[in-house]
Amino acid sequence: MILPCIWYLNMPPKAGYAYGISAEIIENLVVFEGGDGSGTSTQLSLLGRRFPGPGLPAFFATAEPSGGAVGKLIRQALSGDPGLRPETLAMLFAADRNEHLHAEDGIRARCGRGELVVCDRYVLSSLVYQGIQCGERLPRLLNSGFPAPGLVLHFDLDPEEAVRRMSGRSKLDVFENLDFQIKVRGRYLSLLDECREAGSRVRTVDASRSPEEVAAEVWRELAELPIMKANG
Ligand code: TYD
């Protein structure tokens, strides 16, 4: 197994699909993506307040890194202790995702039984963040087997404003600095078309507005999902 991997990693990078060619789509899966400080967690909790409700599907809010064993290790590493090599971190994110997706009560099972699952970060975060740290090839290799979400909402915010918003936090993670966040924003913008090509609906949301304004737009986008129309 090691030799083919080394061969693959040494191949020149080429344009490809974020989720692997002919990726499966999980229509009921919505993913929030964006740089740190762009408000995805706030939006997920605002969205959660609308559920349950008449005519709405069952709703499950979740996030990556997950609350599972691998996710906890990742959160520790993001705080800088233990410091892990970028490649190790890339592998941990993929391992965490595999559990999150395929566990007995995981994303796939929930979507399969008709729940609307909204996940704060998913594959695209790895292609963006680990892509910056490890180069194109490894995150693509590790993530090409994961299904694509039905909808990707990209929360776009000027990195300087994002860093201002985060400046009140008591402790910052290893990625939460201006230089890194400028690269993060650039990579998000350059990868969104690939998500479209993989079959996801992709919308960029202007995250500089008030949380209420952003939440209203998020709701409008969600209302277009087949699962929302089927229940409405
Ligand atoms: P974040 O959603 O910002 O968590 P919180 O605000 O609760 O600390 O996610 C933590 C960090 O993990 C964030 O900087 C992005 C990073 N990350 C990756 O680098 N790769 C990934 O695949 C994922 C899911 C997250």
Q: How confident is the model at residue 17 (pLDDT cuts 50, 70, 90)?
A: low
Give residue 37's region: left, alpha or beta (phi > 0; psi -120 to 50). left
Pocket of ligand 1 contains residue 93 by CB under 6 Å: yes
Contacts of 217 (CB under 8 A, 6+ apart): 205, 206
Distance 64 CA to ligand 1 centre (A): 7
Can you give the pTM of this predicted structure?
0.92
pLDDT for position 9 = 52
Whether 161 has a pLDDT exceeding 70, the answer reads yes
What is the chain's alpha carbon radius of gyration, rounded to the nearest angstrom? Answer: 17
Whether 18 has a pLDDT exceeding 80, the answer reads no
- Nearest CA owner, ligand 1 atom 23: 125
Q: How does pLDDT run across 110-127, given as a tens digit for each residue?
A: 999 999 999 999 999 999
Distance 42 CA to ligand 1 centre (A): 14
- What is the rounded CA–CA span in Å between residue 17 and residue 27? 18
Pocket of ligand 1 contains residue 125 by CB under 6 Å: yes
Whether 66 has a pLDDT exceeding 50, the answer reads yes
- Nearest CA owner, ligand 1 atom 25: 125
pLDDT for position 2 = 53
- What is the rounded CA–CA span in Å between residue 146 and residue 196? 15
pLDDT for position 60 = 98
Mean pLDDT of the chain: 92
Q: Identify which of 19, 33, 36 to mutate to test ligand 1's pocket (most ligand atoms within 8 A of the CB).
A: 36
At residue 155, what are phi and psi to the nearest 5 degrees?
A: -90, 110
Distance 54 CA to ligand 1 centre (A): 33
DSSP 149-187: EEEEEEEE--HHHHHHHHTTSSS--TT-SHHHHHHHHHH
Pairing, β 116-120 against β 25-34: parallel
Domain boundaries, the chain: 32-231
Contacts of 55 (CB under 8 A, 6+ apart): 231, 232
Whether 208 has a pLDDT exceeding 70, the answer reads yes
| Cα atoms found within 13 Å of the Cα of residue 148, Cβ hemisphere only | 24
pLDDT for position 229 = 87
Q: Which of ligand 1's atoms lies nearest the C-alpha of 175? A: 14
Q: Which amino acid is at 163?
A: V
- Bridge partner list, 151: 30, 201
Q: How does pLDDT run across 162-189, given as a tens digit for each residue?
A: 999 999 888 889 999 999 999 999 999 9
Whether 69 has a pLDDT exceeding 80, the answer reads yes
Q: Which of ligand 1's atoms lies nearest the C-alpha of 65? A: 24
Homologous superfamily, domain 32-231: P-loop containing nucleotide triphosphate hydrolases (3.40.50.300)
pLDDT for position 82 = 83
Pocket of ligand 1 contains residue 155 by CB under 6 Å: no
Q: Which of ligand 1's atoms lies nearest the C-alpha of 63? A: 2
Pocket of ligand 1 contains residue 180 by CB under 6 Å: no
Whether 232 has a pLDDT exceeding 90, the answer reads no
Residue range 200-214: mean pLDDT, rounded: 98
Distance 3 CA to ligand 1 centre (A): 31
